Structures are given as C-alpha cells and as structure tokens.
Amino acid sequence: MKLHYSVLLLASIVLASCGNDDDGLPEVVTRDVEEVKAENMEQIEEFLKTHYYELVDNPQNPNFQSITYKRITDSDTDKEPVMDSEFLQSKTVTQLGVDYNLYFLKLREGAESVRKPTFADSVLVTYSGFRLLENRFFDSSPNPIWFDLNRNIIGFYEVMDEFRGSTGVVENPDGTVTFDDNFGYGTVFIPSGIAYFSAPPPGSGIRAYEPIAFNIQLYKSIETDHDGDGVPSWMEDVNGNRRLGDDNTNGNNTPNFLDTDDDGDGIPTREEVNFDEEGNLILPLPDSNGNGTPDYLDPTFP
C-alpha cells in the first residue's frame, strides 16, 4: 500500500465521521476531540520516554539507514530515551481550533543550499509509517516517491518544512533516484487528531484514534501550483492558516488553490498577475487601485 492511496483529507474525515450508515460497517461513535488528544499525547510521550532509536542498515535500499525504535529494557543502562535526545523538537499545530503538540526527531535538517518545502508543495521522499502503540510498520516506500503534500495528513505535511532535501538529486530514466548523502531525515510522532482520527484507511491495520509515526527522508521539493494560474498554492492560503480548502474569495464551490479566476470577475488570475521572461511570478502582485488587495483577489478592479 502506498501513502498516496492511504492519505485522506482530515477535514472531510472529521465532518463525515458521525456514522457510516450505508457501507455495512458498524457505526463508530465519534469520540471527543480534546479527550482523544489528551490520550494520544500521553501515549506519544510514554513512547518517547520508554524507547531509544537506532540507525540500522536498510537492506531494501543501501542508500540510507532506517531509523528504528526499541524499548529500553533493564539491561539498557546506556540507552537514552528519545524524550531526552538533543534532536527531539516539537511545534504547535492548530486544527479546527484545537492545538496539537507535534513531536519530531530531527536527526539531520538536509543540505543547507536546498530549499525547504512549504506546506503546500510536492516532495520526493522515502518513508515508513508505524503504529506507535505496537511499534509496528503499516506502510513504507524504500524507494523515493513524489507526494502532493496537500493530499497528505496534516501531521505529515506540517513537519516537512522542518527539513531540506539533498544536493545532486537525479531522477533516472529507470525510475531510480540518485542523491548525495546530505538529505534531511527524522521521525514525526502524530496524534490521531491530525492523522486519521476515527477513520483510518481500510486495510492499513491502524486503529481508530491511534497515534502514528513516520520516518521520513526528504530529497527534493518543488513549489506546486495546483490550478496552474501562476500563483503558487502556498500563496493561495489567503487566511494564512496553512490549510487550502477554506480560502474561497469568490464564494463559489472552488477554493482559490483550484480556481483559475479567484475573484470571479471574469478575468483569469493569470491575466491579473505578471510574469518575468522565465515565467516566474513577479512580486509584489499588482494592486492597481492601491486598496491593499491584489487585483486577482479584487473583484471591484478593474
């Protein structure tokens, strides 16, 4: 199973999670988001306090070592819990008004000269996902694969801008990828509220309300413009909340990142912004009447 199969938009899961009446599955009683969050944070922190990590050779791909987590036993007097690692960091991620503490182990940021992805970009990664409570893998791609972050779970894309890719990335005609040994890599520990919550992908083995984790190696990222209107998707997050589905300037059924006429004035966005000779968007964006709203978002102009 590939991640692009298993990823779902969390917003739609939460809204649709009140019952599965017509698919023959037993109806799941949706639990309280705050209650699940508290439970998941306890589970994640317990894992971080009782496990250490090791880098082991990866038989499936000798280009990188796998990060594995092992429980500290009584005889492991020299092992450092992940919780005490100098590489462990956390950040606050807000979803539907709830603040989540997203822990991540940043073992290496990546090549300094390589761009960081935004939350709305596409990334070339290898990864393995595991269920925290049983420390058991549910999915992996040992070979580099492209992901549209917008189609991934929030906890996955919210950590990607902590990393950079590697230098020397070449995507070979036979499908393999060559890269230098300076890619970013680490692990992110994700509470279910910003993963699959009550509706894990069927067949994944992930239980409802279960925290999960991903080991990630990042090789490359590219700025993504989903609707091809010349405005990169990260800039189409008008309200700045790092979600793309809730920005809809003209109030039709299409959010800005998929709408080629964002303000609905009949003039395509492409014609209301400017590009240089190489086709790159020129900033600042034109604001002909000087009201602070760029022309492509201003239906009153022209």
- Which residues of the chain form contacts with Ca ion (CB under 5 A)? 225, 227, 229, 231, 237, 239, 241, 243, 246-248, 250, 252, 254, 259, 261, 263, 265, 267
Q: Is 230 left (phi over 0), alpha (psi -120 to 50) or beta?
A: left
To Ca ion, the closest distance from the beta carbon of 265 in angstroms equals 4
- Residues 139 and 154: their CA atoms lie apart, in Å, by 17
Based on CB atoms, which residue is closest to Ca ion, 121 or 263?
263
Based on CB atoms, which residue is closest to Ca ion, 90 or 252?
252
Based on CB atoms, which residue is closest to Ca ion, 109 or 223?
223
Based on CB atoms, which residue is closest to Ca ion, 115 or 270?
270
- Report which of 129, 151, 142, 118 is spatially closest to residue 240, judged by C-alpha positions: 118
To Ca ion, the closest distance from the beta carbon of 59 in angstroms equals 41
Based on CB atoms, which residue is closest to Ca ion, 77 or 239?
239
- Report which of 170, 200, 171 is spatially closest to residue 8, judged by C-alpha positions: 200
To Ca ion, the closest distance from the beta carbon of 238 in angstroms equals 6
To Ca ion, the closest distance from the beta carbon of 242 in angstroms equals 7
To Ca ion, the closest distance from the beta carbon of 237 in angstroms equals 4
Based on CB atoms, which residue is closest to Ca ion, 62 or 279?
279
To Ca ion, the closest distance from the beta carbon of 253 in angstroms equals 7
What are φ and ψ of residue 150, in 5° steps? -60, -20
